[in-house]
Structure 1
Amino acid sequence: MIIPCQRHLFDLPDDRAYLNCAYMGPLMHDVVDAVAMGAARKATPWTLSPEDFFTETMNARSLFARLCGATANDIAVVPAASYGLAVAQRNIPVGEGQRIIVLKDQFPSNVYGWRELAAANGAEVVTLERGQDGDWTRVILDAIDERTALAALAQNHWTDGSLIDLERVGAQLRDAGAALVLDLTQSLGAMPFDVKTVKPDFMVAACYKWLLGPYTIGFLYADPKWHGGEPIEQSWMIRSNAEDFAGLVNYVDGFRPGAHRFDMGEFSNFALMPGAIAAMEKLLEWTPEAIAETLGNRTRDIAERAARLGLRSPPDGARAPHFLGLSFPEAMPPDLVGTLAARNVHVSVRGQSMRVTPHLYNNDDDVARLMDALGAVL
């Protein structure tokens, strides 16, 4: 199903082509209103009850779980992808001589912690190079062997949108006795994903990109086999008696159920959580499947027009539908991002790719403005 343009839900001027959701997704009017409402509650704290610290967050967990095929019990609230990845790094055992697989030019938050973990345990981070045919999946599958402890990956590469077949990768990792850790900040909400088919050990997504939510809010999925794991902080809110404010002086060793032990401190976040909820409710109304189909049509059109200017991109079907990385036949023009921004066209550059990442607020005029600007630059 193709979703009609939803620009009216956002504060985007008609003369501005914002094609940069992979950098930061703009907030819908309803999300801004929800955040304002949430912040206003702090002005009257006597209206907040102990129950309010947990009920709204449970709603958010349930919504995120619906986006990834999980249950609310599997979901923890985190402030950033790096926090969720740190939970995985705390709990997945990595021994001497084992290997951690990452990809070349992978997002740094999904690299630094693995380097530190490997160094502390005599393990090795293996950075895979993209294959000549651009097929990341084949390269990853070829690298998995009995030495592999885990692979830390994404659904699509953050520089150009190249897809990874996570179902095949996850199956081969399980056969090798290895774990799968995913950062889906650059895909969840914009394309389908199901933990029941991919079966990651941990999966994290920050809200501020394709989930169209506030900054400093994200969610972590933990497979039930890790629900007895070790949290990275000892907040009172993750303890089994947290709802009993009067009894908090009765210290307990037990944790709240499921993945909730991995929650960040102050996870209630009365100001931002309502915005995350409003955004996820809208995504579920649209559905990731329909969003992916709609954005796939948009990026396919842009790729075809860009090819006529001599720009290359991963072929349709080999890249995520919402994500287009364009490479130049010669060196990339200097200050490309700034030059296009001066023409009210907003994209980003990561690695050797110019990222064009639209959402449902973009229209044909935005694409025409992009092409005119690129034509002038080239």
Structure 2
Amino acid sequence: MGWVGMPCKDIYALTSSTCHNTHKQTNKHKLFFNNTMTQLALECQRHMFDLDDSDTPVAYLNACSCSPIPTQVHEAASQALAAKRKPWTMDTSTSSETHVKRIYAKLLSNSSAVSEQDIALCPSTSYAMTLAANSVNWAMHANPTVVVLDQQFASNTMPWQHHAKLRIVQRRRGRNWTDGVLEELANDDVACVAIPHAHWTDGSTVDVRAVAEACKAKSIPLALDLTQTLGAAPIAIGPDSVDATFVACSVHKHLYAPYGSSLLYVARRHQAHMRRLEFHERQVRDWPDFDAKGASLFDASTGGYPTESWTDMRKADAGGRPNPTLMPALHASLELVVGWDPRRISEYVAPLSQLVEDAAIDVGLSVARPRVAHIVGIHTPSGSHLPSALELGAELKKRGVLVSVRCGVLRVSFGVFNTVEEARMCASVLREVCVAS
């Protein structure tokens, strides 16, 4: 993966502001893209959040760490939590769980290629990928390896290194992630490819469709971690698009939900091979209401409870009752994201991130390319007199601009709640600090 010191070929120009801190909607952005004037379909959604009542206002450009939750998501969670004060008022049905899976399936694909029965509820992406790793046929290779990216996030790395040696695609000038992954796939010992759509440190992307096609040609499973992109960047999963074997996504970033869940998709061709990590009644086919008949299903003569599981991904759901506070909140947040549409979200944040990229390049910093529209990964060139990522992050924080520093990279990330003013503030501070150095 190379660092480049020039702006991308597509030139974005903002001609008007979208929203202000007063929460009032004003003019829409107009965007010059490939010399064609188009009207952005999605306006700033800051009015959907509660971000401007602080005594010390900040520009929060850190959605890739943890997004704020919209007001109606907070209300859904609050109402669900309040019901626990009077447990007899709680919704103990599985309808919320089913709705969450159905909306998530729609977010992954608008076709019937993905349905709620292809989705499992997990407490984390590491749990989801552990499920995936346990289902791979490692015995097909004498010394199996798994292809990952250099400095890839742990959730989609550690579950695989427990089973096999890692083939690590290194950053290399003049070679992008996609080329590196495809090169490693040429090795006969590769048993799986486990990668993100965009690297968590800098937003640099992988052409996951090209990788999926190469994996399918060699009958090698592909495990995608979409935590940094699903909900913020357009991507379609399924046999006619990105035909991954496993797809997991934590919900607290670009799905605008509280912490505590990851959703795992498994391609239908592989579901028969899934091995459960837990054993509980919700995995059992046609399990009745426990209060009504569940206890009577215990049969000492046959060794206990029935164990015949569902054949779809319900058999892989994590144990315990789905969190009755999280499920309504996740349902509400997924409805919002589907309504906003990841493609329109990406188009909205693209000119904001371009303002920051342009400022970084103007002062001699480098930006990781190609990248997703909502993340700018800024790197100080080796031997440069310019401030380091840590120093830049500290200066931005002093001025009320909150970003992340990841593995020596300044990561600036945007969401639907961010404004042009915030992007300009970040760009201005970068210019000021670097010129002063």
TM category (shorter chain) comes to over 0.9
Distance 2:235 2:177 in 1: 18
Distance 2:213 2:405 in 1: 33
Residue 113 (structure 1) aligns with: 159
Residue 355 (structure 1) aligns with: 411
Residue 146 (structure 2) aligns with: 100
174 and 168 in structure 1: CA distance in 2 versus 1, 3 angstrom threshold: same
Q: Is the 8 A contact 2:350 2:374 kept in 1?
A: yes
129-138 or 341-350: bigger deviation: 129-138
Map residues 103-252 of structure 1 onto 2, 5 A cutoff: 103-118=149-164, 124-145=165-186, 146-196=188-238, 197-228=241-272, 229-245=274-290, 246-249=292-295, 250=297, 251-252=305-306
Deviation at 1:376, TM superposition (A): 4.1
Q: Is the 8 A contact 1:217 1:273 kept in 2?
A: no
Distance 1:49 1:37 in 2: 11
SS at match of 2:203: coil
1:55 lines up with 2:95 in the alignment: yes
1:278 lines up with 2:332 in the alignment: yes
- Select the residue among 369, 374, 377 that pairs with 2:430: 374
Residue 4 (structure 2) aligns with: none
Residue 9 (structure 1) aligns with: 48
Residue 307 (structure 2) aligns with: 253
CA RMSD for the aligned pairs?
Answer: 1.7
Higher-Rg structure is 2
Distance 1:333 1:256 in 2: 49
Q: Deviations over 1:26-75 (max 9, x none)?
A: 1000010010011112222223465x1x1110000001001101211101
Q: Deviations over 1:259-282 (max 9, x none)?
A: 111111225211111111111101
- Select the residue among 344, 365, 382 that pairs with 1:290: 344
Distance 1:343 1:263 in 2: 45
Q: Is the 8 A contact 2:353 2:376 kept in 1?
A: yes
Q: Deviations over 1:109-138 (max 9, x none)?
A: 2111211111xxxxx211111232251101
Q: Is the 8 A contact 2:225 2:247 kept in 1?
A: yes
Residue 320 (structure 2) aligns with: 266
Percent of residue pairs bearing the same amino acid type: 29
Distance 2:287 2:354 in 1: 50
Distance 2:294 2:60 in 1: 48
SS at match of 1:244: coil
Q: Which has the higher contact order (CA 8 A, sep 6+)?
A: 1
SS at match of 2:264: strand
SS at match of 2:247: strand
242 and 373 in structure 1: CA distance in 2 versus 1, 3 angstrom threshold: farther
Distance 1:93 1:257 in 2: 19
Q: Is the 8 A contact 2:359 2:428 kept in 1?
A: no
Distance 1:134 1:154 in 2: 17
Partner amino acid for 2:351? N
59-68 or 321-330: bigger deviation: 321-330
1:319 lines up with 2:365 in the alignment: no
Q: Is the 8 A contact 1:241 1:247 kept in 2?
A: no
Distance 1:99 1:292 in 2: 34
Q: Which has the higher helix share?
A: 1
Distance 2:328 2:389 in 1: 42
Q: Is the 8 A contact 1:160 1:353 kept in 2?
A: yes
Partner amino acid for 2:343? E
Q: Is the 8 A contact 2:202 2:409 kept in 1?
A: yes
Distance 1:64 1:309 in 2: 41
8-17 or 133-142: bigger deviation: 8-17
28 and 142 in structure 1: CA distance in 2 versus 1, 3 angstrom threshold: same
Q: Is the 8 A contact 1:89 1:114 kept in 2?
A: yes
Deviation at 1:291, TM superposition (A): 0.7
SS at match of 1:150: strand
Deviation at 1:2, TM superposition (A): 3.8
340 and 261 in structure 1: CA distance in 2 versus 1, 3 angstrom threshold: same
Partner amino acid for 2:380? F
Deviation at 1:10, TM superposition (A): 1.1
Distance 1:31 1:164 in 2: 31
Distance 2:362 2:124 in 1: 39
SS at match of 1:221: strand
Distance 2:62 2:320 in 1: 31
Partner amino acid for 1:361? F
Residue 32 (structure 2) aligns with: none
Where structure 2 has 5 or more consecutive residues not aligned to the other structure, the ranges are 1-39, 298-304
Distance 1:333 1:324 in 2: 13
Distance 1:102 1:328 in 2: 25
SS at match of 2:193: strand
Where structure 1 has 5 or more consecutive residues not aligned to the other structure, the ranges are 119-123
Q: Is the 8 A contact 2:355 2:427 kept in 1?
A: no
